[in-house]
Chain A
């Protein structure tokens, strides 16, 4: 190796490694802080799960909040998948009145700030009895997934060769049979990407549940943990807060480990869009 090459390699590892330490440190710290002994937390002596025990007992209980978050996230994923699967097929393969307008309108959701829609949605959901309801919250979260999801499913359907479909049609299959018997298997990577992103968005969302859901026992995890921090004024339970961060982060990290490829796929489609 040339002197220049050694220099380059060394500085690469020093710089890259140093930055990696900076990026990983807060993540490692929160894991450590959630189990480490500290006078200001409920984990007084030795390492252990005292902070997690606090969380289990807190208000409506950790399990309740976990259930709320999981319920909202799964509903959001289901709604998003169903709408974008049907819609993507329609946009990619059919010509019908208002097609381009509807597509543009769906993408335009991205242009409207969250808060601008949440104020009227607060009133409207109240009118139809869906305010303070996790079901109503999932509908609103679905709305914000639609631009990406419909776009993603449209390009997924467009990437499937038309011949496959046409030969099935010749054999007498209707479009619904083509969709459920053939297309479903051709576009499943797109569906996984859409599902992953909508799950993460719903699981992590903060402002929509903060505004739309007020009952303490219907709170989703991020709101519950933020409340936990605010309620004990003067004596914030930092240990329990960090335990809460770990509980919220774990599913995201596991999904990342399992579905890395689909993460990048989502970004790639974003890059094409730009």
Chain B
């Protein structure tokens, strides 16, 4: 009986095991081999050339700018997203009339796909049909059309706006779930002790929100470091390659320069960097508890 139950369990898990082996473990091993080989997209495997693909990364003129840009973008997005989504969650955590409508309004952009949202803002920012310039000029705020994607800084800023718009509602929900897990009598006790609203937010809400904050940080940092769709669609890496992210660089190496070996080497470096980062984040969260 025991034995047959073990067998049954293994049988139910077999499809997942097979799938993970073929589509996860095997590609992981292959990407390692590719990164150590001369592997043009069309010709295929031409043999080991270690460590050429790795040493070539440093010589790639786009690599360090891409790393720098990706980190800068991540820093900006994460700070704004965390602050705004926490603010939204606090705003709609009460029971005032209309709260449900506000929650839905903030959350709706999340239901769109990232590519759809990027295509939406591609039109939104365009001088041809975009609504921003007519509105700003109508209100007398600006005199001339603004080039929303024309300069490196504007392209970065405009993409950040798109991402914040798209994801703030998603992270708001995570904070909201965290807020609702805090028992109301904690606040009641603090109020009786004479704590102001701001004091209870600082000393009760924030510490108790730590698990939610940790999840939001991990998701938003990882997501931003791996940014692709939004820049591929909105800025195409421009102007002047100023908004090329690391994942875009991998894509370019593989499918525009047709060098799978080089692309695999960058991928492996990104994988290791993310692994270290994730382990560090998990450690930090564990220690806090």
Nearest chain-A residue to B8 (Cβ)?
Answer: A175
Other-chain contact of B129, A24, A38, A210 (Cβ < 8 Å): A38
Give the complex CA separation of A121 and B260 in angstroms: 11
Q: Which of A226-273 contact B (CB under 8 A)?
A: 226, 229, 236, 238-239, 241-242, 244-245, 248-249, 252-253, 255-256, 263-264, 267-268, 270-271, 273
Instruction: Check A248/B226 contact, CB under 8 A, given A94-B12, A274-B218.
Output: no
- Indicate if A123 sits at the interface (CB-CB under 8 A): yes
Known contacts A16-B92, A146-B20, A271-B174; A96/B274 CB under 8 A: no
Q: Does A143 contact B (CB under 8 A)?
A: yes
CA of A159 to CA of B94, assembled, Å: 30
Is there contact, CB below 8 Å, between A253 and B108? yes
Q: Contacting chain B: which of A52-60, A111-119, A187-195?
A: A111-119
Asked, given contacts A26-B120, A115-B247, whether A206 binds B114 with beta carbons under 8 Å apart, the answer is yes
In the assembly, what is the distance between CA of A253 and CA of B113, in Å? Answer: 11
Closest residue of A by beta carbon distance from B268 = A116
- Tell me the interface secondary structure of chain A in the complex: helix
Q: Given A206-B114, A274-B218, are A119 and B31 also a contact pair (CB < 8 Å)?
A: yes
Asked if B60 lies at the interface with its beta carbon under 8 angstroms from chain A, I say no
Total CB contacts across the A-B interface at under 8 A: 280
List the B side residues contacting A102 at CB < 8 Å.
13, 16-17, 20
Contact of A113 among B11, B105, B274 (CB under 8 A): B274
Which residue in A82, A113, A114, A123 is a CB contact (below 8 Å) of B30? A123
B178 engages A40 (CB within 8 Å): no
Residues in chain A near residue B268, CB distance under 8 A: 116
Q: Is B63 an interface residue (CB 8 A)?
A: no
Is there contact, CB below 8 Å, between A143 and B19?
A: yes
Residue contact B115 to A16, C-beta cutoff 8 Å: no
Which single member of B7, B20, B233, B271 contacts A226 (CB below 8 Å)?
A: B233
- CB-CB under 8 A from B44, the residues of chain A are 123
Complex Cα distance A124/B24, Å? Answer: 11
Taken residue by residue from 5 to 46, chain B's Cβ proximity to chain A (1 for < 8 Å, 0 otherwise) reads as: 111111111011101100111111011001000000000100
Q: Quick check: which of B147-155, B185-193, B209-217 contacts chain A, the rest being far away?
A: B209-217
A222 neighbours in B (Cβ, 8 Å): 113, 115-116, 119
Which residues of B lie under 8 Å from residue A76 when comparing CB positions? none
Residue of A12, A106, A120, A263 with most partner-chain B CB within 10 A: A120
Could you tell me if B5 and A206 are in contact, using CB atoms closer than 8 angstroms? no
B52 within 8 A of A: no
Nearest A residue to B212, CB-CB = A271
In the complex, are the beta carbons of A105 and B108 less than 8 A apart? Answer: no
Cβ A142 vs Cβ B88 within 8 A? no
Q: Give CA–CA (A107, B26) in the complex, Å.
A: 16
Query: Which one of B19, B98, B105, B116 lies within 8 Å of A204 (CB-CB)?
Result: B116
B126 sits at the interface (CB 8 A): yes
Bound complex: CA of A83 vs CA of B15, how far in Å? 6
Nearest residue in A to B128 (C-beta to C-beta)?
Answer: A40
Complex-state Cα separation, A208 to B9, whole angstroms: 32
- Residues of chain A from 193 to 241 with CB closer than 8 A to chain B in the complex: 200, 203-207, 210-211, 222, 225-226, 229, 236, 238-239, 241
B9 touches A9 (CB 8 A): no
Q: Which residues of B contact A173 (CB under 8 A)?
A: none
In the bound complex, CA of A241 to CA of B251 (Å): 24
Return chain B residues, CB-CB under 8 Å to A124: 26-27, 30
Q: Which bracket fits the contact residues of A?
A: 35 or more
In whole angstroms, what is the CA distance A256 to B233 when docked?
Answer: 25
B119 neighbours in A (Cβ, 8 Å) = 222, 225-226, 229, 241, 244-245, 248
Query: Are the CB atoms of B13 and A115 closer together than 8 Å?
Result: no
Set of chain A residues within 8 Å of B264, measured between Cβ atoms = 119-120
Candidates A17, A27, A242, A267; contact of B109 at CB < 8 Å: A27
User: Are B10 and A97 within 8 A (Cβ)?
Assistant: yes
A15 at the interface (CB under 8 A from B): yes
Known A-B contacts A123-B30, A123-B260, A238-B123; the reply to A94 vs B24 at CB < 8 A is no
Q: Given A124-B30, A238-B129, decide whether A252 and B16 contact each other with a Cβ distance below 8 A.
A: no
Q: Nearest Cβ distance between residue B246 and chain A, in whole angstroms?
A: 9
Task: Say whether B15 contacts A119, CB under 8 Å.
Answer: no
B27 nearest in chain A by CB position: A120
Which residue of B13, B115, B131, B214 is within 8 Å of A96 (Cβ)? B13
Tell me whether B54 is interfacial, beta carbon within 8 Å: no
Whether B229 lies near A207 (C-beta < 8 A) is yes
10 A-B pairs closest in CB distance: A94-B9, A204-B113, A274-B215, A90-B12, A87-B16, A90-B13, A120-B30, A206-B115, A96-B9, A222-B115
17 contacts between A and B (CB under 8 A): A27-B109, A95-B5, A96-B10, A117-B31, A139-B23, A203-B113, A204-B112, A222-B116, A238-B126, A242-B123, A248-B116, A249-B111, A252-B116, A264-B173, A271-B174, A271-B178, A274-B211
With A120-B27, A264-B173 given, can you name 14 additional A-B contacts, CB distance below 8 Å?
A: A20-B105, A23-B169, A99-B13, A113-B267, A117-B24, A124-B26, A143-B19, A143-B23, A204-B114, A204-B116, A211-B255, A226-B115, A239-B129, A274-B211
